[in-house]
Amino acid sequence: MSTTVAQASFDNSPPQAGWHFLQIPGPTNIPGRVLRAMDRPAIDQRGPEFARLGLELFEGLKHVFKTSEEVFIFPASGTGAWEAAIVNTLSPGDKVLMFDSGHFSALWVRMARQFGLEVELVANDWRRGPDPAVVEAKLAEDRAHRIKGVFVVHNETSNGVTARIPEIRQAIDRTKHPALFFVDTISSLASMDYRHDEWGVDVSVGGSQKGLMLPPGLSFNAVSARARKASETAKLPRCYWDWQWMRESNGAGQFPYTPGIQHLFGLKEALAMLRDEGLDNVFARHQRLGEATRTAVKAWGLETVCADPREFSQSVTAVFVPEGHDADAMRAIVLKRHNMALGSGLARFAKRVFRIGHMGDCNDLMIAAALAGVEMGLKEAGIPHRPGGAHAANDFLARAA
């Protein structure tokens, strides 16, 4: 692990020695290579060195999104790129199809409503992704083509459920409906396979602080030709997020406003790390870490929030604690005694769920240690479970290696 700084004391207890285990599903561990690359003075954002950097980053991001189309970089957290996706393509009163399939899906719905969009909302129990058959039925019944966009979060970070994007695309195609397809890849990009072009996505939204191993503060839109065309007539007000404004500078590797220069140095290094490991190896590593985690959860006799094995996330696992027990009390013990941060249950899952992040700069021994820490925390918090989950995960990892 490259984050070597012991966690600062969060109460009056002395600082703890050794690693702080950051096992939340983002922000993730920032590799030393990235931190060192960012530890540089600023350069002139209108000079030739920066222009070369900008052009290199746009190309590098295309490789990660698997697209030959344009990619925009915003100095913002992921929420900014959500907003950019909406304001560049849609007009007030436009109807959109969205899914209440987790905390982040619900926040994107809230944003769409705040922009005056008419949201047709499909509810679910937050334990599965959007159903491709429902997408098909909703679009098929919209003969007047009032629905302008279908919005899906690829990897719901709040519940560890990965939507089946290719199947949803096929469902849209069967209806021949012209709605644009918007996909949030914030906690899947650079952790799980994602194919903007091949999967026919019109706007992909990404963020820096998860699979890309960077600090929060950069976010992305990959944009299809259809989305670009839609942006020419879209009427929602926009300025800071305007793709056209970006495009006018991006061609020369520059930005219309002062970019987060050190973040971009870090992005260059993170892209190099992903290239060095190879994206397919990165995805295989995440798959292995995800399976190891699920092996432990099963052996503990606990239940994952994700109810459909086809939709297990490879970057985060959300786990129910048994009825009558408090996941936050267990997380507090793990933090205080073992210097490990686990993700909390969000919104309707508050206190009922804890989340184990296994994305970004994470390897077999890091997840093995994290799972050992979870097992100790379960015991210390008096949460009923069968012992041996961490051991079962070790066995799995040894066999997988």
Among 139, 153, 183, 370, binds ligand PLP (CB under 6 A): 153
Q: Using CA atoms, how far apart are residues 65 and 204, in angstroms rounded to an integer? A: 8
Considering only 54-62, 184-192, 272-280, 387-395, which stretch makes contact with ligand PLP by CB under 6 A?
184-192
The site that binds ligand PLP (CB under 6 A) totals a number of residues, namely 12
Nearer to ligand PLP, 16 or 77 (CB): 77
Q: Using CA atoms, how far apart are residues 159 and 302, in angstroms rounded to an integer? A: 15
Among 45, 67, 187, 231, binds ligand PLP (CB under 6 A): 187
Nearer to ligand PLP, 215 or 259 (CB): 215
Among 31, 54, 129, 207, binds ligand PLP (CB under 6 A): 207
Which residues sit opposite 320 in a β-bridge?
303, 353
Among 20, 23, 24, 26, binds ligand PLP (CB under 6 A): 26
Nearer to ligand PLP, 231 or 315 (CB): 315
Nearer to ligand PLP, 81 or 335 (CB): 81
Look at the block and give the residue holding tokens 């030709």: 225
CB of 215 to ligand PLP, least distance (A): 11
Alpha carbon separation from 125 to 75, 121, 129, 348, 370 (Å, rounded): 34, 13, 9, 10, 28
Q: Using CA atoms, how far apart are residues 126 and 348, in angstroms rounded to an integer? A: 9
Residue 259 DSSP SS3 = coil
Using CB under 6 A, which residues numbered 209 to 228 contact ligand PLP? Answer: 216
Residue 162 DSSP SS3 = strand
Residue 222 DSSP SS3 = strand
Nearer to ligand PLP, 184 or 311 (CB): 184
Closest by alpha carbon to 112, among 130, 94, 131, 138?
94
CB of 187 to ligand PLP, least distance (A): 4
Is 375 an interacting residue with respect to ligand PLP (CB under 6 A)? no
Nearer to ligand PLP, 206 or 389 (CB): 206
Is 28 an interacting residue with respect to ligand PLP (CB under 6 A)? no
**Cα Rg, the chain, nearest whole Å:** 21
Whether the bond into 27 is cis, omega within 30 of 0: yes
φ, ψ of residue 260 in degrees (nearest 5): -80, 85
Strands 147-153 and 95-100 come out as parallel
Nearer to ligand PLP, 54 or 78 (CB): 78
Closest by alpha carbon to 112, among 149, 145, 78?
149
CB of 47 to ligand PLP, least distance (A): 29
String marking each residue 62-81 x if it binds ligand PLP according to CB under 6 A: ---------------xxx--
Nearer to ligand PLP, 316 or 330 (CB): 316
Q: Using CA atoms, how far apart are residues 246 and 72, in angstroms rounded to an integer? A: 7
Contact positions toward ligand PLP, by CB under 6 A?
26, 77-79, 104, 153, 157, 184, 186-187, 207, 216
